[in-house]
């Protein structure tokens, strides 16, 4: 039972639409797994099913070996507060009528309920690069990037073993994206927690993730070591995603949208593209 | 001090200045001042009625049906009671009972609406249909039927008023709760182990309180009209209670003595108007849809970058310039 999270053959359906079509993954402590793909490929649906916001139509989500219960009217059991989420929109992540210090204190209380020690709200604010004396302020007094840092502080204050981050940086401006992403990885690794990091931005993911899963139309098309996939993509969809990253060549050419015309080969299943492990490091990482 | 804190401080100070400027702006409007002054006068009259009123509310010391004079400024009624004194004492009846009506209806309606909106599913369906059922009847007629079947008394009139007005709060609350329930901060606190009840109390309620209070302040006027209306019909306050609606009802028997009906009518008019003015101003301060708040929200979002975005003229041009190359 080394793995924190094990997802087996997950299907998520919204009415007739199959958003997630048979995704399996596992995350071990201290590991960052990134899930990338274009809008609507099922990344966020996967995340919502993992934390229990949506009920899987098929398949299982096991956190530390037990089924993740749906987030309904029942109070979440303390052992599942070890799984925390960071949302895409920093504006709706924080209660507008509550001081940020009190919101971070909610996270600390969740850690205490599991018998763990957590730092003070002031210390958590400093850990995410804000001033300790900001605890008394309300969310509207912060910028979007600062609010996201506070939301991250609240999630980390609960001393989670697993953080599910659903596009946590895509609502931020370019300058704060890199710093927030680096901070998240560092704090996660310091705490020995695992992280599922969802993004549509391969260039950010390359710097953060140990492993990568590329999703297309609800299916995982390529997965494995980040550097392997980045340097030598096998699946045609991964190649298209990589070539869509804008290059600062001074010409101001915008890349073609990958979804403009979707060749059939993008949906093809290629065995070699899955679970790619670097040959030399295989023994070390396993 | 680092440059980072300086930016934070100046943005903070800017927002504080904004907040200080915003709140009085709505209260500085002439209607708000008139409303507060009139309501204040009535409250003072109600609280200090025995010392302010020249006669007792039931004292029959004066000649009957005396027109307004120095002895009785607003005249006397058919039993020789001073109309002015009865009006002042009437404020002690109408205002607190209307306040009680609004408070109870607000608590009941908010609770039902919040539970329906938060729980969802069949609970929401049942509570929603119940709300529709009560809203399907004309308010005043339903209140009359209930008050009549409970028996005429001021307490029963209040009860009837609660029964017919709670659905307004339930509707508003439900829609607010439904939109808040799926907000990330509610989901986040549930993931931190909040119980439903706690989340409803600490995440939802503080965020809907503003609009609900605005609604309640506007409903005070309606409640006064409803109570005086029921009393006028003989279903509320009973003689000899000094109550404005009942006083107008008594004036019907002496239609020539104009002062019997006009002054209680003016009392009702001024109180209801004051309540509505206050409610409108409160809405301007608190309602997210009102212009003052929209400006506040717009300024809060780019709080740190500020100056370029704060200039309202610059923004649309910039957006247009961006769109052209794409087209």
Note the pLDDT of residue B1.
40
Note the pLDDT of residue B296.
43
Note the pLDDT of residue A157.
93
For each of the domains in chain B, give its residue range(s) and CATH number, in order of start: 92-292 (1.10.3720.10)
Residues of A in contact with B303 (CB under 8 A): 140-143
Note the pLDDT of residue B155.
93
Instruction: Check: pTM over 0.95? Answer yes or no.
Output: no
Question: What CATH number does residue A213 fall under?
Answer: 3.40.50.300
Residues of B in contact with A85 (CB under 8 A): 187-188, 191
Spatial CB neighbours of A124, under 8 Å, sequence gap ≥ 6: A104, A107, A108, A118, A153, A154, A156, A157
Residues of B in contact with A155 (CB under 8 A): 188
Residues of A in contact with B12 (CB under 8 A): 137, 141
Helix (H) or strand (E) holding A214: strand A211-216
A106/B304 CB distance under 8 A? no
pLDDT band at A246 (very low <50, low <70, confident <90, very high): confident
Tell me how far apart the alpha carbons of residues B302 and A143 are, in angstroms, rounded to a whole number.
7
Q: Which two tokens stand for residue B217?
A: 């302040």
State the helix-helix crossing angle for B83-119 and B205-232, rounded to 10 degrees: 140
- The burial of B322, by beta-carbon neighbours within 10 Å (0-12 exposed, 13-18 middle, 19 or more buried), is given as exposed
Note the pLDDT of residue B291.
45
pLDDT band at A180 (very low <50, low <70, confident <90, very high): confident
Tell me how far apart the alpha carbons of residues A119 and A189 are, in angstroms, rounded to a whole number.
17
Nearest to A141 among B187, B302, B303 (CB): B303
Cis peptide before B10 (omega within 30 of 0): no
Write the DSSP assignment of A121-139 as a string of letters: HHHHHHHTTS-GGGTT--G
Q: What is the number of CB-based contacts under 8 A between chain A and chain B?
A: 90
Note the pLDDT of residue A258.
55
| Residue A11 bridge partners (DSSP) | A21, A58
Q: Which residues of chain B have pLDDT under 70?
A: 1-27, 287-327
Q: Are A145 and A125 in contact, with CB atoms under 8 Å apart?
A: no
Tell me how far apart the alpha carbons of residues B293 and B310 are, in angstroms, rounded to a whole number.
15
Average pLDDT over residues A123-142: 92
Residues of A in contact with B302 (CB under 8 A): 143
Note the pLDDT of residue B159.
95
Tell me how far apart the alpha carbons of residues A47 and A167 are, in angstroms, rounded to a whole number.
10
Note the pLDDT of residue B309.
36
Q: Which of helix, strand or coil describes residue A275?
A: coil
Note the pLDDT of residue B61.
82
Per-residue three-class SS string for chain B: CCHHHHHHHHHHHHHHHHHHHHHHHHHCCHHHHHHHHHHHHHHHHHHCHHHHCCCCCCCCCCCCCCCCCCCCCCCECCCCCEHHHHHHHHHHHHHHHHHHHHHHHHHHHHHHHHHHHHHCHHHHHHHHHHHHHHHCCCHHHHHHHHHHHHCCCHHHHHHHHHHHHHHHHHHHHHHHHHHHHCCHHHHHHHHCCCCHHHHHHHHHHHHHHHHHHHHHHHHHHHHHHHHHHHHHCCCCCCCCCCCHHHHHHHHHHHCCCHHHHHHHHHHHHHHHHHHHHHHHHHHHHHCCCCHHHHHHHHHHCCCCCCHHHHCCCHHHHHHHHHHHHHC
Nearest to B193 among A76, A91, A98 (CB): A76
A76/B196 CB distance under 8 A? no
Q: Is the pLDDT of residue A282 over 60?
A: no
Nearest to A71 among B12, B191, B203 (CB): B191
Please state, in angstroms and as integers, the Cα–Cα distance from residue A142 to each residue in A8, B187, B239, B308, following that order.
Answer: 40, 21, 60, 17
Report the 10 Å Cβ neighbour count for A3. 16
Note the pLDDT of residue A257.
59
Note the pLDDT of residue B210.
86
Q: How far is B112 from chain A (nearest CA, A)?
A: 16
Closest A-chain CA to B297: A140
Beta strands A32-36 and A194-199 are parallel
* Nearest of B208, B226, B237, B240 to residue B79 by alpha carbon: B240
Q: Which two tokens stand for residue B261?
A: 């009906």
Note the pLDDT of residue B66.
84
Closest A-chain CA to B203: A95
Note the pLDDT of residue A105.
95
Q: Are A199 and A171 in contact, with CB atoms under 8 Å apart?
A: no
Tell me how far apart the alpha carbons of residues A207 and B275 are, in angstroms, rounded to a whole number.
61
A95/B189 CB distance under 8 A? yes
Q: Is the pLDDT of residue A284 over 70?
A: no
Count of the separate structural domains present in chain A: 1
Q: How far is B146 from chain A (nearest CA, A)?
A: 36
Q: Write out pLDDT tens, residues A20-60.
A: 999 999 999 989 999 998 888 899 999 999 999 999 999 99
| Residue recorded with tokens 């001074």 | A250
Q: Please enumerate residues of B whose Cβ is less than 8 A from a Cβ of A.
A: 4-5, 8, 11-12, 15, 119, 183-185, 187-196, 202-203, 206-207, 297, 300-305
Q: Name which residue leads in pLDDT, B309 or A220.
A: A220
Domain assignment of residue A91, given as a range: 5-285
Average pLDDT over residues A178-199: 89
Report the 10 Å Cβ neighbour count for A77. 12
Residues of A in contact with B203 (CB under 8 A): 95, 98
Complex prediction ipTM: 0.88
**Which of B192, B198, B207, B213 should one mutate to test binding to chain A, selecting the residue with the greatest count of A CBs within 10 A?**
B192
Closest B-chain CA to A69: B191
Q: Write out pLDDT tens, residues A71-109.
A: 888 999 998 999 999 999 988 999 998 999 999 999 999
Spatial CB neighbours of B235, under 8 Å, sequence gap ≥ 6: B144, B147, B148, B152, B156, B157, B160
Q: Please enumerate residues of A whose Cβ is less than 8 A from a Cβ of B.
A: 51, 53, 71, 73-78, 80-81, 83-85, 87, 89, 91-98, 103, 106-107, 109-110, 113, 131, 134, 137, 140-144, 146, 151, 154-155, 158
Give start and end residues of each alpha helix (H) in chain A.
Answer: 43-51, 100-113, 121-127, 144-157, 174-190, 202-208, 226-231, 236-243, 282-285
Q: What angle do CA B225, B229, B233 make, to 5 degrees?
A: 175
Q: Write out pLDDT tens, residues A247-264.
A: 766 666 665 655 556 777
Residues of A in contact with B191 (CB under 8 A): 51, 71, 76, 80-81, 83-85
């Amino acid at each position: 039972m080394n793995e924190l999270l094990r997802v087996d053959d997950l299907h998520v359906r919204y009415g007739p639409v199959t958003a997630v079509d048979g995704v399996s993954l596992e995350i071990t402590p201290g590991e960052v797994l990134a899930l990338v793909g274009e809008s609507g490929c099922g990344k966020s649906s996967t995340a919502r099913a993992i934390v229990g916001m949506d009920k899987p139509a098929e398949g299982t989500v096991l956190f530390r070996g037990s089924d993740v219960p749906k987030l309904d009217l029942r109070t979440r059991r303390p052992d599942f507060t070890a799984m925390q989420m960071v949302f895409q929109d920093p504006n709706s992540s924080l209660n507008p009528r509550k001081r940020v210090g009190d919101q971070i204190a909610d996270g600390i209380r969740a850690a205490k309920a599991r018998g763990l020690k957590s730092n003070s709200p002031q210390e958590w604010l400093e850990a995410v690069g804000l001033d300790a004396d900001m605890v008394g302020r309300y969310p509207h007094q912060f910028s979007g990037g600062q609010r996201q840092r506070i939301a991250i502080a609240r999630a980390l204050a609960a001393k989670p073993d697993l953080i599910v981050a659903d596009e946590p940086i895509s609502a931020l401006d370019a300058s704060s994206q890199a710093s927030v992403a680096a901070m998240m990885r560092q704090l996660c690794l310091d705490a020995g927690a695992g992280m599922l990091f969802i993004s549509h931005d391969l260039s950010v993911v390359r710097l953060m993730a140990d492993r990568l899963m590329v999703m297309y139309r609800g299916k995982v098309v390529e997965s494995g070591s980040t550097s392997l996939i980045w340097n030598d993509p096998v699946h045609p969809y991964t190649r298209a995603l990589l070539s869509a990253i804008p290059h600062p060549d001074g010409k101001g050419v915008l890349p073609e949208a990958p979804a403009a015309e979707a060749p059939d080969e993008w949906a093809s299943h290629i065995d070699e593209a899955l679970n790619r492990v670097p040959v030399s490091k295989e023994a070390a990482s396993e | 001090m680092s440059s980072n804190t300086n930016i934070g401080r100046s943005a903070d100070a800017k927002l504080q200045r904004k907040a200080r400027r915003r709140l009085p702006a709505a209260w500085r409007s002439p209607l708000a001042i008139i409303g507060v002054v009139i309501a204040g006068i009535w409250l003072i009259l109600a609280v200090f009625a025995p010392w302010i009123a020249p006669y007792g509310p039931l004292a029959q010391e004066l000649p009957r049906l005396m027109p307004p004079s120095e002895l009785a400024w607003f005249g006397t009624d058919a039993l020789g009671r001073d109309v002015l004194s009865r009006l002042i004492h009437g404020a002690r009846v109408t205002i607190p009972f209307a306040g009680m009506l609004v408070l109870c209806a607000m608590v009941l309606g908010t609770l039902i609406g919040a539970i329906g909106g938060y729980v969802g599913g069949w609970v929401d369906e049942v509570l929603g249909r119940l709300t529709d059922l009560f809203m399907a009847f004309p308010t005043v007629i339903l209140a009359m039927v209930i008050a009549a079947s409970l028996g005429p008394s001021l307490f029963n009139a209040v009860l009837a008023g609660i029964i017919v007005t709670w659905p307004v709060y339930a509707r508003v609350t439900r829609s607010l709760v439904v939109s808040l329930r799926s907000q990330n901060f509610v989901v986040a606190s549930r993931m931190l182990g909040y119980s439903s009840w706690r989340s409803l109390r600490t995440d939802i309620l503080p965020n809907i309180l503003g609009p609900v209070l605005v609604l309640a302040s506007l409903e005070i006027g309606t409640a006064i009209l409803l109570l005086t209306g029921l009393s006028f019909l003989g279903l509320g306050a009973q003689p000899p209670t000094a109550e404005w609606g009942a006083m107008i009802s008594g004036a019907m028997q002496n239609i020539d003595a104009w002062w019997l009906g006009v002054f209680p009518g003016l009392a009702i008019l001024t109180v209801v108007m004051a309540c509505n003015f206050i409610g409108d101003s409160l809405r301007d301060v608190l309602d997210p849809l009102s212009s003052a708040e929209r400006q506040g929200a717009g300024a809060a979002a780019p709080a740190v970058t500020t100056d370029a975005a704060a200039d309202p003229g610059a923004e649309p041009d910039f957006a247009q310039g961006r769109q052209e190359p794409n087209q």
